[in-house]
């Protein structure tokens, strides 16, 4: 990577709080230890006050945010009407869509209490998280293309983030699994059919 590594120094106490805030963030789940360490190093703390706008709909995306504490309204303006479409309550994350797809912010996030956020800059987010997700997707696509049973799927179905399997019986629910779960099931099945232990 040609981009310099971003590091915001933190106390041990800050690092502990940051790790706790990030432990359930889905975008971080597939990162290896080195990638996660770089992400945590690059994150910075932002203290917010009630009524402060964290991001505004239509703006360019600069940072991804993880909530440590505080409550936040999600506001969307359409046809000159602004309405609340949801809230964050002391956990969650936001701001990734504008960074992943280079699009303007899709909503306004306003703090409804004092709070604390951890921000990650656009460059680091794209360098580590977007590239990692693209690599995982490419691996999954290659695997799907190598399975004869799945080759007949159209591109829209094949490269959907989730594979959908439905029984012919109308009384059985649609089963939705992630690519990772599918690969795990496939691997277990292959091992069992060859009398191997997984």
CATH of the domain at 96: 2.60.120.10
Query: Are residues 117 and 146 located together in one domain of the fold?
Result: no
**Residue among 38, 145, 156, 18 nearest 93 (CA):** 18
Query: Are residues 58 and 76 located together in one domain of the fold?
Result: yes
- State residue 166's pLDDT score: 39
Residue pair 179/169 in contact (Cβ under 8 Å)? The answer is no
**Of the candidates 69, 101, 127, which is a domain's last residue?**
127
- State residue 163's pLDDT score: 47
Instruction: Give the C-alpha distances (Å, rounded to integers) separating 181 from 12, 44, 152, 175, 187.
Output: 35, 33, 21, 12, 10
Number of domains in the chain: 2
Alpha helices in 90-154 (DSSP H): 96-101, 122-124, 131-146, 148-151
Give residue 167's Cα distance to chain centre. Answer: 30
- State residue 4's pLDDT score: 78
- State residue 193's pLDDT score: 45
Give residue 13's Cα distance to chain centre. Answer: 25
Query: Are residues 17 and 109 located together in one domain of the fold?
Result: yes
Give residue 72's Cα distance to chain centre. Answer: 19
**Of the candidates 83, 103, 127, which is a domain's last residue?**
127
Query: Are residues 111 and 171 located together in one domain of the fold?
Result: no
**Of the candidates 77, 93, 127, which is a domain's last residue?**
127
Query: Are residues 150 and 106 located together in one domain of the fold?
Result: no
Q: Is 2 a member of any domain?
A: no
Query: Are residues 143 and 122 located together in one domain of the fold?
Result: no
Query: Are residues 58 and 146 located together in one domain of the fold?
Result: no
How confident is the chain (198 residues) per 10-residue block, as mean pLDDT?
83 95 91 92 97 97 97 97 97 94 95 98 90 66 68 61 42 49 53 45
Query: Are residues 23 and 121 located together in one domain of the fold?
Result: yes
Q: Is 198 a member of any domain?
A: no
Q: What is the CA radius of gyration of the chain?
A: 20
- State residue 172's pLDDT score: 42
Q: Is 42 a member of any domain?
A: yes
Query: Are residues 82 and 121 located together in one domain of the fold?
Result: yes
- State residue 114's pLDDT score: 98
Query: Are residues 103 and 153 located together in one domain of the fold?
Result: no
Query: Are residues 173 and 86 located together in one domain of the fold?
Result: no
Range of the domain at 158: 136-193
Please give the structure tokens belonging to residue 33: 């230890």
- State residue 184's pLDDT score: 54
């Amino acid at each position: 990577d040609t981009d310099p590594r971003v590091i915001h120094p933190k106390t041990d106490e800050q690092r502990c709080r940051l790790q706790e805030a990030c432990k359930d963030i889905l975008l971080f789940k597939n990162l290896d230890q080195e990638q996660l360490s770089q992400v945590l190093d690059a994150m910075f703390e932002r203290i917010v006050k009630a009524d402060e706008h964290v991001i505004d709909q239509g703006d360019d995306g600069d940072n991804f945010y993880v909530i440590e504490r505080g409550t936040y309204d999600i506001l969307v303006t359409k046809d000159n009407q602004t309405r609340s479409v949801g809230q964050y309550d002391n956990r969650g994350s936001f701001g990734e869509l504008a960074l992943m797809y280079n699009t303007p912010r899709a909503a306004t996030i306003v703090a409804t209490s004092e709070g604390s956020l951890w921000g990650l800059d656009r460059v680091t987010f794209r360098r580590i998280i977007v590239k990692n997700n693209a690599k995982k997707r490419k691996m999954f696509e290659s695997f799907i293309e190598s399975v004869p049973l799945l080759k007949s799927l159209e591109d829209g179905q094949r490269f959907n983030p989730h594979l959908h399997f439905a029984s012919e019986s109308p009384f059985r629910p649609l089963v939705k699994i992630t690519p990772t779960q599918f690969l795990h099931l496939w691997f277990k099945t292959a091992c069992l059919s060859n009398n191997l232990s997984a």
